[in-house]
Amino acid sequence: MKRPSAVVVLVVAGVAGLIGLLAYGVASQEPDTSIENALERGDREPAPDLTLPPLEGGDERSLSDWKGQVVVLNYWASWCEPCREESPLLERWHQRMQKRDGTVLGVDVLDVTSDAQDFITQYELTYPHLRDKDGATQEDFGIVAYPETFVIDRAGRIAASQRGPVDDEFMRANVAPLLREN
């Protein structure tokens, strides 16, 4: 029986290595679903305490600065079309939430500052916005696309999440009950 040549062995080994790297790359790009898994079990895990500067500049703010309030944490970018579509809804809910010790908190990610500021002006957004210019906090929340939203209860725990745009139904089901709690 003829033995395979060294070239054939090297080619087969190289192809196997590339397939292994590809499989690893695909597997490592899967979103972190630990938040969703906890919510499915009925658990409210503590929200990661991100610390970022306000979009308009100034001293850094932490998510814990809003502890005691219901927070709708929304990751967005000015170039994201679904973000544009949900912005008026988030502003309406922010206006409602303020009366009950709640807020929408935007996190602008991987964006040009002037574009983000123009977005806020265009949609007349009054809720606070933080700036994550390099996406450093995305991994803490398992973010893979925009928009993504997390509802955080008064104790600082994640009570709900939405991968993709939110709508009134989501807000009524997940935010309104928290606003009624003391």
Q: Write out the two tokens for 60.
A: 């850094």
* Residue indicated by tokens 């579509």: 85
The pLDDT, as a whole number, for residue 36 is 86
The pLDDT, as a whole number, for residue 83 is 98
Helix, strand or coil, per DSSP, at residue 59:
coil
Write the CB contacts of 71 (distance below 8 Å, at least 6 apart in sequence).
63, 102, 103, 104, 105, 151, 152
The CA angle 164-170-175, to the nearest 5 degrees, is 115
Q: Write out the two tokens for 86.
A: 């949900």
Q: Write out the two tokens for 130.
A: 């933080």
The pLDDT, as a whole number, for residue 17 is 52
Helix, strand or coil, per DSSP, at residue 17:
helix
* Residue 84 vs residue 23, higher pLDDT: 84
Where do the domains of the chain lie? 1-30, 34-180
R_g of the chain computed on alpha carbons? 21
Task: Report the percent of the chain where pLDDT is more than 70.
Answer: 82
Statement: residue 125 has pLDDT above 90: yes
Task: Of 74, 99, 107, give the one whose Cα is nearest residue 89.
Answer: 74
Residue 8's CB: how many other CB atoms inside 10 A? 10
Mean pLDDT of 24-29: 46
Query: To the nearest whole number, what is the mean pLDDT of the chain?
Result: 89
Tell me the pTM: 0.82
* Residue 80 vs residue 37, higher pLDDT: 80
Superfamily of the domain at 34-180: Glutaredoxin (3.40.30.10)
Return d(Cα 98, Cα 127) in angstroms, integer.
9
Residue 6's CB: how many other CB atoms inside 10 A? 8
Evaluate whether 166 touches 89 at the Cβ level (below 8 Å): yes
DSSP 45-61: PBPP--EE-BTT-SS-E
